[in-house]
């Protein structure tokens, strides 16, 4: 087909009666075969070219807008990813910091545990050392601490002491026989003495005893209680050995100013029995104890109840005295108050 025929066919075809405002839409539907510029220029008047030139930039703008939008989206996506990476980095840093803190705490805990263990070992070692020293102290025959020994006088013992003093003034070193003879003479003189002279000796003895009690009280006031306890432990250990050997036990150190516990119901009964039945007291202590035990068993319940009530009353009084001592600043205040 010749060029002229093709052109005439185009003029007669669907683009023959085209309107300029429709070209905006239809020009993009032209097949590539008819999209040559020299063909379109022959078909369409110059207005079409103007419109074509006006439409082309809008297509470029669309592409540009798309590219810009894509760029913006990519930039945003990059920013989001960067923020996410930053967050992840912060989280990792926090986790590392947390792990470091936990490790440090664990390290401190282990160090403290080691120090505690070391201190416990040192304490145990010190205790063992003190225990050994204590054992050595207890094994000593010499007392660790001892209160001053003051004999308590009665009127008769004071009279005897004065007579022995007079004897020593006459005889610088009296023999045992002379001392025994003096003792017998003292007994006779005391029985022959009138009541007024006996009372004078009793009053003098009471004054001496009061002064010595005060001195012993001063010693107990200033005594180291821990040493007293240690000395009592030593004496208990010695007493255990003496008991096995059948020897007399050593008395424990007890503050004489403290109130004494009341005797038991049975001991109250024994005391009453010794006062009422002086004939039985002439028996040996063993026989008297056996007889007292048998009589206590045969005693009616009503009389036993009376002894029980006496004991309860005495024990209440004892507890009240102990409370007074605990509440007072020192035992001396309690002694002076009573």
Per DSSP, the residues of 132-161 read HHHHHHHH-SS-S------PPP-HHHHHHH
Residue 59: band (very low, low, confident or very high) from pLDDT cuts 50, 70, 90: low
To the nearest whole percent, how much of the chain has pLDDT over 90? 4
Structural domain total, the chain: 2
CA distance 268 to 272: 6
State which residues form the domain around 22.
3-44
Residue 31 lies in a domain: yes
Residue 328 lies in a domain: yes
Residue 282 lies in a domain: yes
Residue 118 lies in a domain: no
The reported pLDDT for the residue numbered 74 is 80
**315-335 tens-digit pLDDT:** 999 888 877 766 654 454 444
Residue 199 lies in a domain: no
Mean pLDDT of 3-23: 47
Residue 122 lies in a domain: no
Residue 216 lies in a domain: no
- Whether the pLDDT of residue 16 is over 50: the answer is no
CA distance 59 to 185: 157
State the virtual CA torsion across 157, 159, 164, 167 in degrees, nearest 10.
-170
The reported pLDDT for the residue numbered 313 is 92
- Whether the pLDDT of residue 238 is over 70: the answer is yes
Residue 23 lies in a domain: yes
- Whether the pLDDT of residue 231 is over 70: the answer is yes
State the virtual CA torsion across 277, 282, 286, 292 in degrees, nearest 10.
-10
Question: pLDDT averaged over the chain?
Answer: 75
The reported pLDDT for the residue numbered 137 is 60
**259-311 tens-digit pLDDT:** 888 889 989 888 888 877 765 555 677 788 888 888 898 888 988 999 999 99
The reported pLDDT for the residue numbered 19 is 47
- Whether the pLDDT of residue 70 is over 50: the answer is yes
- Whether the pLDDT of residue 104 is over 50: the answer is yes
The reported pLDDT for the residue numbered 308 is 92
The reported pLDDT for the residue numbered 311 is 92
Q: Measured at the alpha carbon of residue 224, what is the angle toward residues 222 and 227, in degrees to the nearest 5?
A: 150
Weakest mean pLDDT among 35-39, 111-115, 193-197: 35-39
The CATH code of the domain that includes 313 is 1.10.30.10
State the virtual CA torsion across 16, 22, 24, 30 in degrees, nearest 10.
-40
Residue 186: band (very low, low, confident or very high) from pLDDT cuts 50, 70, 90: confident
- In terms of pTM, does the model score above 0.95? no
- Whether the pLDDT of residue 54 is over 50: the answer is no
54-60: long-range contacts at Cβ-Cβ below 8 A with a sequence spacing of 24 or more? 55/24, 55/27
């Amino acid at each position: 087909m010749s060029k002229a025929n093709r052109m005439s066919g185009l003029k007669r075809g669907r683009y023959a009666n085209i309107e300029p405002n429709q070209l905006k839409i239809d020009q993009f539907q032209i097949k590539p075969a008819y999209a040559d510029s020299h063909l379109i220029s022959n078909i369409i008047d110059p207005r079409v070219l103007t419109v074509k030139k006006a439409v082309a930039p809008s297509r470029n703008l669309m592409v540009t807008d798309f590219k810009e939008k894509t760029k913006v989206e990519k930039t945003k996506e990059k920013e989001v990813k960067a923020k996410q990476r930053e967050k992840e980095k912060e989280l990792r840093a926090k986790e590392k910091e947390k792990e470091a803190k936990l490790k440090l705490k664990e390290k401190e805990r282990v160090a403290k545990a080691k120090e505690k263990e070391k201190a416990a070992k040192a304490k145990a070692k010190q205790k063992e050392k003190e225990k050994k020293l204590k054992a050595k102290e207890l094994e000593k025959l010499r007392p660790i601490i001892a209160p001053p020994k003051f004999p308590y006088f009665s009127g008769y013992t004071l009279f005897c002491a004065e007579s022995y003093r007079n004897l020593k003034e006459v005889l610088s070193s009296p023999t045992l026989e002379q001392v025994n003879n003096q003792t017998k003479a003292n007994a006779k003189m005391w029985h022959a003495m009138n009541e007024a002279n006996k009372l004078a000796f009793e009053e003098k003895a009471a004054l001496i005893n009061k002064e010595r009690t005060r001195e012993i009280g001063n010693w107990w006031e200033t005594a180291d209680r821990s040493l007293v306890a240690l000395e009592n432990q030593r004496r208990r250990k010695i007493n255990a050995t003496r008991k096995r050997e059948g020897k007399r036990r050593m008395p424990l150190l007890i503050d004489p100013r403290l109130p004494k516990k009341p005797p038991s119901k049975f001991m109250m009964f024994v005391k009453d029995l010794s006062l009422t039945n002086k004939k039985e007291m002439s028996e040996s202590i063993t026989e008297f104890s056996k007889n007292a035990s048998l009589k206590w068993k045969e005693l009616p319940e009503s009389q036993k109840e009376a002894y029980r009530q006496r004991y309860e009353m005495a024990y209440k009084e004892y507890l009240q005295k102990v409370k007074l001592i605990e509440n007072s600043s020192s035992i001396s205040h309690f002694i002076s108050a009573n």
